[in-house]
Amino acid sequence: MRTILVASSKGGAGKSTVATNLAAHFAVEGKATAILDADKQKSSTHWCEKRAHLDTAVLPLDGCRRNWDKQLPEGIQRLVVDAPAGAMADDLQAFLDMADAVVVPVLPSAIDLEATVPFLNSLVTHPRVKKGKLPVGIVGNRLKPWTGASQQAVAQLKGWPYPLVAELRDTQAYVLLCGLGKSIFDYHSEQVRSHQEDWAPLLRWLKKSL
């Protein structure tokens, strides 16, 4: 089993959107996939429930339950962890211990950028991150590339010590698809393919990390 932790200390950064679309990608690839939903809002769990009738269903697991680590089913090939909102590295110890990669979504605003820095600094205190054994990647989320604000945010993200592994454009498609239990990887229209291309660098980075 390979595990991807999607985490951010800033609420509304798009954690569940990234987690569900990653999980859908793995499921569409034919891998037995589960989401460990440790966020009390349970957005990822609700998404899984709406997707349950599909051949590419994703198994929802409750990451808020005590001893969740002892209840992971056998046969899971990809586990995506939707981390608790507002958590710092100390709160994510168990997830960091088991993760093969960490993905941190960040919105292109000064508030979000500033709020994410302490979180990234807290990750460095984890031994596996500190020793370079647990890769951490930044995902610029809900970007509007035609605006100066997004361009400045991307420039700032590229200067951070962790790699910027994806630049996801802002679109209502994610909101609409999430409400259906779907993802951009479930469709093949030209418009959707353009958004799939935004994910390609992240998927390549994960392939090297997993």
Over residues 56-71, the pLDDT tens digits come to 999 999 999 888 888 8
> What integer pLDDT is reported at residue 137 of this predicted model?
97
d(CA 134, CA 74) in angstroms, rounded, equals: 23
- Residue 9 — very low, low, confident or very high, per pLDDT cuts 50/70/90? confident
Q: What is the pLDDT of residues 97-152, one digit of tens each?
A: 999 999 999 999 999 999 999 999 999 999 999 999 999 999 999 999 999 889 99
77: Cα separation from own chain's centroid? 17
- b/e per residue, 85-113, with b = 16+ CB within 10 A? bebebebbeebbeebbbbbbbbbbeeebb
Q: What is the pLDDT of residues 155-199, one digit of tens each?
A: 999 999 999 999 999 999 898 899 999 999 998 888 788 889 999
Do 82 and 5 form a contact (C-beta atoms < 8 A)?
no
d(CA 60, CA 36) in angstroms, rounded, equals: 6
**Residue corresponding to tokens 């991807």:** 4
Instruction: Name, in order, each residue with C-beta under 8 angstroms of 91's C-beta and a sequence gap of 6 or more.
Output: 84
Of the candidates 139, 145, 133, 90, the one whose C-alpha atom is nearest the C-alpha of residue 116 is 139
Bridge partners (DSSP) listed for residue 191: none
Parse the chain into domains and list their residue ranges.
2-209
Q: Residue 164 has which token pair?
A: 């910027």
- Report how far apart the first and last C-alpha atoms of the chain are (Å, whole number): 9
Count of beta carbons in the 10 Å neighbourhood of residue 159: 8
d(CA 102, CA 114) in angstroms, rounded, equals: 19
d(CA 57, CA 80) in angstroms, rounded, equals: 14
> What integer pLDDT is reported at residue 67 of this predicted model?
87
Q: Which fold, 2-209?
A: Rossmann fold (3.40.50)
pTM above 0.85, yes or no: yes
Bridge partners (DSSP) listed for residue 143: 169
Q: Residue 90 has which token pair?
A: 């100390």
- Helix, strand and coil in the chain, % to nearest 5: 45, 20, 35
